[in-house]
Amino acid sequence: MINNRDLATRSLSDKDTGLIYDMISMCFDGFFANATLSERVDNTIDKHGFKKLSYLFRRLADRLLSFVGNVLEDSKMMTQEAGHISREYLTALGAATGQSLLSLVMVINERSLKRIEVLLRQLGDKVFANVIADYLVYLRRGLDTVKQWRSNAKVI
């Protein structure tokens, strides 16, 4: 089994680093949007569900950051796709209200997770990708759980 120290000392290619920066950006966008939404909603199920999702996005972002270290300046390595996810979250939080806002953020969460999964498959370092895949499983399970809670409570 590979421990954290072995992974932390691995060097990543520029392509992998750029992909990781995109994943970090999407994770922090998901964290921010879900945390903001958890503070806005009155429904306890939604409040707890979006707080859980924000925690899972943050956990994945923290794990990814532990591999790239500090990013002190703009590396110009990120792609436009990470920006699209960010704009979708910000547009949803700014424009939508009520149940449409909650449903829209859930859809964007799903898109963000799928995009992170696509980026993960593009990584050249498969050992690193396998470690990150575990965190994606937790995020997928969390997203499915929140969907189920909302469905059972008939708030969808």
pTM for the structure as a whole? 0.84
Q: Is residue 8 situated within a structural domain?
A: no
**Radius of gyration over alpha carbons of the chain, in Å?**
16
Q: Is residue 5 situated within a structural domain?
A: no
Q: How many domains does the chain have?
A: 1
Q: Is residue 6 situated within a structural domain?
A: no
Q: Tell me which residue range forms the domain holding 60.
A: 14-67+77-152
Q: Is residue 53 situated within a structural domain?
A: yes
CATH code: domain of residue 60: 1.20.1260
Q: pLDDT tens digit string along 47-67?
A: 999 999 999 999 999 999 887
Residue 152 scores a pLDDT above 70? yes
Q: Is residue 114 situated within a structural domain?
A: yes
Q: Is residue 39 situated within a structural domain?
A: yes
Higher-confidence position of 74 and 105: 105
33-41 long-range contacts, CB within 8 A, separation 24+: 33/89, 33/90, 33/92, 33/93, 33/105, 33/108, 33/109, 34/105, 34/109, 36/93, 37/93, 37/101, 37/102, 37/105, 40/101, 41/102
Q: pLDDT tens digit string along 87-117?
A: 888 888 888 777 788 889 999 999 999 999 9
Q: Is residue 148 situated within a structural domain?
A: yes
Q: Is residue 125 situated within a structural domain?
A: yes
